[in-house]
Structure 1
Amino acid sequence: MDSIIFDLDGTLWDPRETVLTSWNKAIEQHPKVDKQLTLEDLKQTMGKQMHEISQIFFPELSIEDQKEVMDYLTEIEIPYVAENGGELYPALEDTLIYLSEKYRLFIVSNCQEGYIEAFYQYHKLDRFFDDFENPGRTGLSKGENIKLVIERNGLENPVYVGDTQGDRDAARKAGVPFVFAKYGFGEVNDFEYEIEHLTDLKRLF
């Protein structure tokens, strides 16, 4: 193994409180939406792309209006996340220090453009990662983005760490072993490795 590619939400941190606050602020200001989102609402969308999330949250709107609303939510969310951060999982930095001494580290998330950068900006963890990718930047699926990072960085034997079935499916599409982060937001029954806590990666690798 020469590298580890991470999912972000539910794998490295829990950003739900911050994201929820920013999205509800945006919704209050948008004339086409009249609802308040809950943490449970967010949990059911973790790991999905923005167009999928908009269909779950706003099924009463047209596709065009869904995109308009989600674009506005993102416009409010990115700077809010950059200014407020999220809840890092325990011992994240120590784990990254340990792993980065042995492996190259990357992030591939199903987020919008600017979200990973906001994570970096607040928590100052970008020094541990060689590259990142997301569909907001490429328009590709998570599996395709994993492949893109592998090819772009000349990786020969990576693994992917994530917490949802979508992460598992993406790893399979990219042809890489999957490490299930059991502490995250999803349920997965098919995996090569399983960790109960983020720090288990130090033991596993």
Structure 2
Amino acid sequence: MDIKCCLFDLDGTLLDTREDCLTVNKYILERYQLQPMPPQESIRLAAAGRREYMEAFFANTPGAVYDDALVDRAVKESIEFYLEHIADHTRPFPGVEKTLQELKQRNIRLGAVTNKYIDLTTKLFDVLNFTQYFDLIAGDNDTMPLKPNPDMLVDAMQKLQCSPGNTLMIGDNYSDLGAARQAGIKSVFVTYGYGTVMNEKPDFTINCFEELKALLI
């Protein structure tokens, strides 16, 4: 394939953020006396974005009385807490940094496109010295629709001056695959992440990050 651009999801694809994210969830659940959700449902909702995720916790708690203002406050507090613990345990998945370095050397343009709030994303990348690998970093900025809406991917391709035919989207969740499909981009599903394909059908599947290189030969 003549691939000139790779777009990556963040959580569960590039970085293993599970433990730090669970710590944030525990803090909010205890603070607002909310009930946890089954792990698979929690993962599915997390892919939709932080606000939708938070609202689901309130809705899942019998007797919880809440409105938009309370949900917004909980989101704000979760972000503030997360910023203080952004990389206590978060690390790149095996092979990620080495592979990104090789892709950069091959002049492949790299973009991170995530439903994570952009302030959290940039802070995390700065702490882990990850910004150096990427030509573009896009996240939830309260204006762009989130994946599986394709707008974030379309905007990234425009800024990176790439076309759907020479771009790959790599992710661990149906939201990544759905966004790629709607944007006309071939998708790569990583099996080591947190999500599921749901009803989506990825073009390629890899079991470790370094297998991506074989698709770009």
Place the TM-score, normalised by the shorter chain, in its bin: 0.7 to 0.9
Aligned partner of 1:141 among 139, 142, 146: 146
**Partner SS, residue 191 of structure 1:** coil
Render the CA deviation track for 1:101-126: whole Å, top value 9, x for unaligned.
22111100001121211221221111
Render the CA deviation track for 1:70-105: whole Å, top value 9, x for unaligned.
1211121123205x2503211211111111122111
Pair 185,80 (structure 1): closer, same or farther in 2 beyond 3 Å: same
The answer to whether residue 96 in structure 2 is matched with residue 92 in structure 1 is yes
Q: Which amino acid in structure 2 is aligned with residue 202 of structure 1?
A: K
Give aligned pairs, total: 201
Is residue 17–residue 39 contact of structure 1 (8 Å, CA) maintained in 2? no
Unaligned runs of 5+ in 2: none
Q: Distance in 1 between matches of 2:118 and 2:161?
A: 23
Is residue 95–residue 202 contact of structure 1 (8 Å, CA) maintained in 2? yes
What RMSD over aligned residues (CA atoms) do the two structures have, in Å? 2.1
Is residue 171–residue 177 contact of structure 2 (8 Å, CA) maintained in 1? yes
Is residue 11–residue 181 contact of structure 1 (8 Å, CA) maintained in 2? yes
Pair 16,38 (structure 1): closer, same or farther in 2 beyond 3 Å: farther
Is residue 109–residue 160 contact of structure 2 (8 Å, CA) maintained in 1? no
Q: Corresponding residue for 1:185? A: 194
**Partner SS, residue 107 of structure 1:** strand
Deviates more, 1:2-11 or 1:182-191: 182-191
Q: Distance in 1 between matches of 2:134 and 2:97?
A: 12
Render the CA deviation track for 1:32-63: whole Å, top value 9, x for unaligned.
x1147589375343422122201221113223
Render the CA deviation track for 1:146-183: whole Å, top value 9, x for unaligned.
11111122112211001111111111122211111111
Q: Which amino acid in structure 2 is aligned with residue 136 of structure 1?
A: N
Q: Distance in 2 between matches of 1:95 and 1:139?
A: 29
Q: Which amino acid in structure 2 is aligned with residue 22 of structure 1?
A: V
Aligned partner of 2:8 among 6, 9, 12: 6
Deviates more, 1:36-45 or 1:136-145: 36-45
Over the matched positions of the two proteins, sequence identity in percent amounts to 25
Q: Distance in 1 between matches of 2:34 and 2:57?
A: 9
Is residue 20–residue 39 contact of structure 1 (8 Å, CA) maintained in 2? no
Q: Corresponding residue for 1:45? A: 45
Q: Corresponding residue for 1:174? A: 183
Question: How far has the Cα of 1:186 moved from its partner?
Answer: 1.9
Report the TM-score, using the length of structure 1 for normalisation.
0.88
Pair 172,70 (structure 1): closer, same or farther in 2 beyond 3 Å: same
Q: Corresponding residue for 1:120? A: 125
Unaligned runs of 5+ in 1: none
Report the TM-score, using the length of structure 2 for normalisation.
0.83
Q: How does 1:32-111 map to 2 (within 5 A)?
A: 33-35=32-34, 37=36, 40=39, 42-59=42-59, 60=64, 61-82=66-87, 84=88, 86-102=90-106, 103-111=108-116
Question: How far has the Cα of 1:140 moved from its partner?
Answer: 2.1
Is residue 9–residue 47 contact of structure 1 (8 Å, CA) maintained in 2? no
